[in-house]
Amino acid sequence: MTFNINWDKKGVYVKFRGIVTPQDLIDANNYVISNAKFESVDYQIFDFLHIDDFKISAYDIAIIASMDKSQTEFIKNMKVAIVTQDDYVREITTEYDQFMAGSNWITRIFTSF
């Protein structure tokens, strides 16, 4: 497993490390959205500061985005923070934003905490 997940009252923090594969991202996202705590959080933080490589394609991010888009019917407002200094991760996040357009979920990219 290349990620750790920590919950608090208002959010969930997912920290990735090493090489992030499509299955890693799908597994982390599945764990987050299937957890009963997910219904009560306001934000998600995905930390990619300590990764060695990001093997996610536009196709892979569309799968993740479709998983999240299905949740927008139940979780109306969500803030998603992507923390990265990697240009490719920022580029893929733009694809995610486009897929999520029209929902009340807001995604922002940060270079540090």
* Residue ranges of domains in the chain, CATH in brackets: 3-110 (3.30.750.24)
Predicted pLDDT at 45 = 97
More confident residue, 110 or 1: 110
Find tokens 């540090």 and name the residue.
112
Average pLDDT over residues 49-63: 94
Residues in the chain: 113
CB atoms within 10 A of CB 56: 22
Mean pLDDT for the chain overall: 93
Angle in degrees, CA 14, 45, 84, rounded to 5: 90
Token code pair at residue 22? 């499509």
Rounded alpha-carbon distances, angstroms, from residue 36 to 8, 48, 73, 94 = 13, 24, 16, 28
pLDDT-based confidence at 76, cuts 50/70/90? Answer: confident
pTM greater than 0.85: yes
Predicted pLDDT at 1 = 60
Residues 2-13 pLDDT 10s: 899 999 999 999
Residues 39-55 pLDDT 10s: 999 999 999 999 999 99
Predicted pLDDT at 2 = 87
Task: Inform me whether the pLDDT recorded for 70 exceeds 70.
Answer: yes
Average pLDDT over residues 16-29: 95
